[in-house]
Amino acid sequence: MADKQQEIIAMFDEIAQSYDLANRVMSCGIDIAWRKKACNLAFSNLPKQSLDSLHIADIACGTGDMILHWQKNAQKNAITLQEIRGLDPSAEMLKIAQKKLPSISFTQCEATALPLENESFDIVSIAYGIRNVLERKKALEEFMRVLKEGGILVILEFTKCHNPNFLENLMGFYTKNILPLIGGIISKNYRAYRYLPDSIEEFLTKEKLLLELKEVGFIPLYTKAFSANVCTLFVLKKHSIKQTN
C-alpha cells in the first residue's frame, strides 16, 4: 500500500506544471460554484465567535485552488482568517502553490500524518483529494483530531454512481473517455489523466463515504451531489463533548 501511495504522489509531481490549466479546461469552471457553496456552508455552521479568528487547514491542497476560494469567500462574508494552512504530499504541487500564494504557509505531508496540534483548527477541507488517500480511515481520524470541538469538515469529491441513469452514464462516458484525452494533450501525460476515471470507478458511492465519516464520529450537516452525481459535497461537524455524554 505504501508503494502505491508513493506512485500516486509521484504522478501528481509529474503533472504539477500543467495541473491548473488542465483543470480549468476540463471542468469549464463549473467547480467554482461547488467550492463557493462549500465555503459558505462551512462559515454558516460555525459559532459566530469562531468567525472573528478563523483557523483553516486545507488538506491535499495541490496548487492552492481551495485556499483561494476560502480567502475570497471569507472576504465577501467579512470573516477574519487568522490562519490558513495548505498541506499536500506533492513537493512540485506545493512549489506552484507557494508562488501563487506567497503569504500562505505550506507543508509537505500526507493526510494520514498531519503535523498539526490537536483541536487547533475550526475548518478542515479536502477538495478532490480523499480518493487519492489509500489509508482513508487513518486520514479521517487525523481530520477529527486536529478539528476543534464543533469544527467543520468539508469534503468535495468525485463519487461513484450506484445504478446510474442515462444522464449519469453520459457523464461517466465523458469522464472516462474525453477527460483523459484532454488532460493528456495538455499535460503530455495521458497515464496521469487516465488515473482520474479509474480512481473514481474504484472509489466509494456517496452513501458509503458518508457511512465511513459517521463511523469516525462526524455528524453530517449537508450532503449534495452535483453534475449528474459525479461530484458530492459533504459538510460535517466534529462530535461535540456535550453530544458524547
Antiparallel, parallel or unpaired: β 121-127 and 218-226: unpaired
107 is in an annotated binding site: no
End-to-end CA distance of the chain: 37
How far apart are the C-alpha atoms of 114 and 165, rounded to whole Å? 39
CA-wise closest residue to 187 among 35, 58, 25: 25
Residue count of the chain: 245
Residue entry with cell 483523459: 180
CA-wise closest residue to 149 among 59, 80, 46, 70: 46
232 is in an annotated binding site: no
Cross-strand bridge partners of residue 72: none
Q: Residues marked as binding for S-adenosyl-L-methionine?
A: 63, 88
Q: Residues marked as binding?
A: 63, 88
